[in-house]
Amino acid sequence: MNICGIVAEYNPFHNGHKYQIEKARENGATHIVAFMSGNFVQRGDIAVSDKFTRARRAVCCGADLVIEIPVLYCLASAEYYAKAAYSLIERLGCIDSVSFGCECDNLDLLKEAANFSNSMKEKLDIKDVMSEGISFPSAMQSLANEKICDLFSSPNNILSIEYLKQIENRELQVEIYPIKRTGTEHDSDYSHGNIASASFIRKLMSENADYSVFVPYSDFSAEIVDYKALESVVFYKLRTMNLSEICDLPEASEELASRIYNSIRSSSSFEDFLFKVKTKRYPLSRIRRVIYTALIELNRSDYNYELPYIRVLALNKNGAEVLKKARTTAKIPIDTSFANLSKQSDICKKFVETENRATDIYSLLVGKNVFGSDMTAKIEITESCDEF
């Protein structure tokens, strides 16, 4: 048994993801475990389909086991997102290899960039550059040498660098297989054959256009966000928070909190509000993450807790084999049900309550009640792909 871990959002699962899984199997993986974002994703958005649907699609299309990354870390920077995913990989205790998609598949260059990023984190150079009003990736790009500077311009490369930092910091003994993205770049607005970026597919979804050629399943359902409801709850929530409370949100710096606090009171619409807050240093993805952490009532002190459980979203027979092995290797409880996990400890209960709030907000914004299924979900082994 060679178990490979893949960190993903599958928003939505598409042919590029299927290609990555196939390449991982070519590299020797016999079992694929996906560590997936839930109903909110790291780009600061609401998932196009609920987490159970996306997890089952992934299993039907090549993954064997899907494990949920807690929402606290999905609505966080690349650093914290990677930290949570690789904490789960470490605590599952049976991952032999990891694979990730990136624009650059030169592992030596990626490791050099990871070492550089680790060395720069607390240095005055990076703080001085960021004080000029640019983002962390842009600052890293301006300070890095010619060989690696371009790596910091791509979101997928940045995530790959963060993954490598976690592998190094945790001293994980895993084989590493970077897979070069094929066909299209991250967030590109074009396709190459039957390969398109997730952002391009989401654009087609929003336009009710046909995207079937880009996905390996036949169930094309997607959730439609009620943006009027989103605007109402965002304005209500942020206008009832004081500046100190906004400052306590995980992704809000003092400067960003101040911009949000002042702009929400002078904005006539959600789009107007985003326009007033956005700067080169604070892209829309980060602003949206702050907004959703406010709605879910997260704060930066939540990062003080270690991940307390491993929550399964979907599996097949191979995935059941991984779970059987993990029962003897895992360092924290594993279950499919939040009802069971919440009984494990006070910290487990706290994390479960946070997930329930997140799913409640998701249900409100898409007009679909998934709250009950989240709390008491009974995950069955997926044996057939007929429905997809």
Query: For tokens 């992704």, what's the residue?
Result: 251
pLDDT in the model for residue 387: 45
Closest residue by Cα to residue 107 from 180, 156, 194, 170: 180
* Tens-place pLDDT, residues 77-104: 999 999 999 999 999 999 999 999 999 9
Q: Can you tell me the distance from the alpha carbon of 212 to that of 156, in angstroms, rounded to the nearest whole number?
A: 24
Kindly report, residue by residue over 222-255, the tens digit of the pLDDT: 888 888 889 999 999 999 999 999 999 999 999 9
Q: What is the pLDDT of residue 183?
A: 56
Terminal CA-CA length for the chain: 28
**Strand pairing of 65-69 and 97-102?**
unpaired
CA distances from 187 to 191, 207, 387 (A): 11, 17, 29
Tokens coding 15: 């042919």
The ranges of the chain with pLDDT < 70 are 121-132, 182-192, 370-373, 376, 383-388
Q: What is the pLDDT of residue 388?
A: 40
CA gap 140, 196 in Å, rounded: 28
**Structural domain spans, the chain:** 3-103+154-223+306-376, 227-302
Q: Is the pTM of this model over 0.85?
A: yes
- Topology annotation, domain 3-103+154-223+306-376: Rossmann fold (3.40.50)
Q: Give the pLDDT score at 128.
A: 66
Determine the Cα–Cα distance for residues 380 and 289; give it in Å rounded to an integer: 32
pLDDT at 219: 79
Q: How far apart are CA 68 and CA 88, in angstroms?
A: 9
